[in-house]
Amino acid sequence: MQVMKSATQMEVAPPSSLPLELDMMMPCEKVHHLASCNAVVVFSMSDCCMSTVAKRLLFSLGVGPTVIELDQEDDGPGIRSVLYRFVGAHQPVVPAVFVGGKFLGGVQTLMASHINGTLVPLLKDAGALWL
């Protein structure tokens, strides 16, 4: 969306929430860069209840994940198509959780890992927790 200020001012587009260098990357490169440069990344939709569950679980454990709200990104549809390759056809695309540069899964995998006790060690190994 562009906003017209006046006839003498330039049109101003609202900035993306991602840094400028990421805006220049293709969606596949963005996903790889974000996953490899952050301990925990959650690709989410702001109105998705399962995404909210995943984010709240991580926050409750003391993790500050990098959250990418796909419905608020210009290339959200492109990133979603990349995530389809990770999750497969029979799983919801969001939330998509990456820990330590590797795809963990969606909310079901995240919750199962928490319940079976493997999530906290995984987060520690990734540098997301210091407990």
Residue 18, pLDDT > 80, answer no
User: For residue range 100-123, what is the model confidence (pLDDT) as tens digits?
Assistant: 999 999 999 999 999 999 999 999
pTM of structure: 0.82
Q: Which domain holds residue 85?
A: 19-35+49-105
CATH classification of the domain holding 67: 3.40.30.10
Per-chain mean pLDDT for the chain: 86
In the DSSP assignment, the letter for residue 74 is T
Domain-located, residue 119: no
> What average pLDDT score do residues 26-33 get?
94
Number of domains in the chain: 1
Domain-located, residue 91: yes
DSSP codes of every residue in 10-54: PPBPPPPSS-HHHHTS-HHHHHHHHHHHSSEEEEE-TT-HHHHHH
